[in-house]
Structure 1
Amino acid sequence: MTMTKPLLDVRDLRVTFQIGRDGAMPWSAPRNLHAVGGVDFSLNPGETLGVVGESGCGKSTLARALIGLVPARGRAEWIDGRDLVGLSPRQMMKYRREIQMVFQDPLASLNPRMTVGQIIAEPLKTHHPGLKSAEVKDRVKAMMEKVGLLPNQINRYPHEFSGGQCQRIGIARALIVEPRLIICDEPVSALDVSIQAQVINLLIRLQRELGLALIFIAHDLSVVKHISDRVMVLYLGKVMEVGPTDTLYADPQHPYTQALLSAVPVPDPAHDPAATVVPLSGDLPSPLNPPSGCVFRTRCPRAQSLCAEQVPALQGADRKTACHFPGPLTEAEIARARQTETA
């Protein structure tokens, strides 16, 4: 059996921002905000990795670190063996053709002073400056058709399009240089539900046709399940669980994963959410002062003294979990979590 080399292999990726001194105490030392705290994962060619977690868990920061928009430490090895972390803008230019990004706000990510044709053509002019104008225009029109836009709209401006159409423009701009990896940072969260389905199906079709790999970041776990081959669960910048989508959704081992999945809406009028949801007590801790040991322990219904003393390692074969006491929560633990929430 031939082993496929990962397209991207990430090891101990960390992003830390230094926060200035407190205005009330100007003599205090600067503090470090740990946005991403040692993330490990690999991505194979043509695979989709879903990334989920609450707001503030480091999902978008992780995406920006991979493409060099924020400084990072650790290692992110591309398939050619080059470490992408720490590359200069000039060194990174080669890999920007290979790795493109689709942003969360479709309209805000497009230049309002440029036509659709200019927006989609901009990466071509940057990475393939030798192309003639006629060839650039032909490629832009072909890409517009591929993503479901009419070529005769090439001279229109972003404000003349709906949110779903603007996201298609963003996808066309990302695909025009024929990348191998697309990072989608919550690409459907600003769209209506019916339009979300259209954009997701478009990404699935384009991935199949073009052999793309995707990193798909989202809050909606039902969307992530539909599009992803594997899912990685982040909490406070750390990986709680990662594994094949079907396995992780059918049998989540980490209490945080169980809480997230229990909150997914069920389209059944007879379903009582209060009877199945695993509540999370308290708020997300500040990344300026994360808990000792397991970062999830302050909200975990299963936390014990060991959880405060030791950081759990991400362990497992096909499915990996970072928990000292993995496994489904018992009815007693769920009941205790509900009592804590209402207290």
Structure 2
Amino acid sequence: MTLSNISIVKESQAPLLQVQDVHTTFNIKQKGTYFWQKPDTLKAVNGVSFELFAGETLGVVGESGCGKSTLARTIIGLVRANAGSIKFGDEEIVGASKKTMRIKRKDIQMIFQDPLASLNPRMTVGDIIAEPLRTYYPEMKKSDVQDEVRTMMKKVGLLSNQINRYPHEFSGGQCQRIGIARALILKPKIIICDEPVSALDVSIQAQVINLLQDIQQEMGLALIFIAHDLSVIKHIADRVLVMYLGHAVELGINEAVYGNPTHPYTQALMSAVPLPDPIAERNKVIQLLEGDLPSPINPPSGCVFRTRCPIADSECAQIKPVLEGTLDHRVACLKNKVEL
């Protein structure tokens, strides 16, 4: 899907996934508190909304602790949302039963950050990739399962004669390919990639990203790609969601967010992206953020970014901004808005 087609797709096609005002919280018992005292509430995801269309890639960026991984786990059902709506097609999956989520999870798979830690060291590669097939299609013959596994191994760049090896015999990049094969074996509609290349060397990162793009085009997958590296997101994403302290602060097509970053937080992130031109790199101005990330247990009132924002005023402490703007670019900021 090209960037110029995003708006057309939005207008003509129903979203594959709709996330509306999702909240995910955790009860945290502070050290030294008495047993009768109420635990604190950590607001990991706070009112995030977006849509995902078939065949597109949504990049999710933000610093550590902003709620990216919790959002991913909430969508797939590993963590339950406390409020809001998540619709896969026309079916609501927030509050769905374990049986319903088990059925839906066949169509929404996940690739994890640490390739080796996500694989069972006591299982062979063949058994790891085949496990989803045996879970959802127990009636399949063993020979048919083996054929599917070998075909998928070839698709992700692994040799079929490696089927009886164990994860520790593979490199990090190969282990991530095994994780990708396991996620793809059920032919899902959505793959959630939770920083799948952050633990790999740069050259291996490029190989894995290109592999994901080739498979996406071949199978028509929708991807939610979480990363810290804004250069990776720029390369792979059709649309970009910027998160800060559990909130969505900017959402738009790739060329809008990278070409015209509007939220002060997005502007600071973009200013830190290395430039390939040495002269431009030396002359660029990096917008450093003052202070530390506030605690999600006790976030600031109004705009959660105001304690680190260079343009915040008293109004920002009173009013909580919401995503506003055009179909292609929305920003949650009282001072910087998208031109309509």
Normalising by structure 2, what TM-score?
Answer: 0.93
Structure 2 unmatched runs, 5+: 1-7
Q: 1:262 to 1:92 in 2, by over 3 A?
A: same
In 2, distance between residues paired with 1:308 and 1:75? 28
Deviation of the 1:274 alpha carbon: 7.5
The aligned counterpart of 2:199 is 190
The aligned counterpart of 1:320 is 330
For 1:18-33, what aligned pairs fall within 5 Å after superposition? 18-24=27-33, 28-33=37-42
The aligned counterpart of 2:293 is 284
In 1, distance between residues paired with 2:111 and 2:69? 11
In 2, distance between residues paired with 1:225 and 1:129? 41
* Pairing partner for 2:268 from 256, 259, 263: 259
The aligned counterpart of 2:77 is 68
Q: Percent identity?
A: 63
1:193-231 CA distance string (max 9 Å, x none) = 000000000000000000000000000000001110000
In 2, distance between residues paired with 1:327 and 1:313? 11
In 2, distance between residues paired with 1:245 and 1:131? 42
Please identify runs of 4+ aligned residues in structure 1 that moved more than 6 A. none
RMSD: 1.5
Deviation of the 1:28 alpha carbon: 3.8
Structure 1 unmatched runs, 5+: 329-343
1:85 has 2:94 as partner: yes
In 2, distance between residues paired with 1:113 and 1:283? 42
In 1, distance between residues paired with 2:78 and 2:261? 33
Deviation of the 1:25 alpha carbon: 5.5
For 1:127-142, what aligned pairs fall within 5 Å after superposition? 127-142=136-151
Normalising by structure 1, what TM-score?
Answer: 0.93
- Which secondary structure state, in structure 2, belongs to the residue aligned with residue 266 of structure 1? coil
User: Structure 2 counterpart of 1:130, which letter?
Assistant: E
User: Structure 2 counterpart of 1:276, which letter?
Assistant: V
1:123 has 2:132 as partner: yes
Q: Is the Cα contact below 8 Å between 2:93 and 2:101 reproduced in 1?
A: yes
Q: Is the Cα contact below 8 Å between 1:147 and 1:172 reproduced in 2?
A: yes
1:54-76 CA distance string (max 9 Å, x none) = 00000000000001111102100
In 2, distance between residues paired with 1:33 and 1:273? 40
Q: 1:221 to 1:174 in 2, by over 3 A?
A: same
1:210 has 2:210 as partner: no
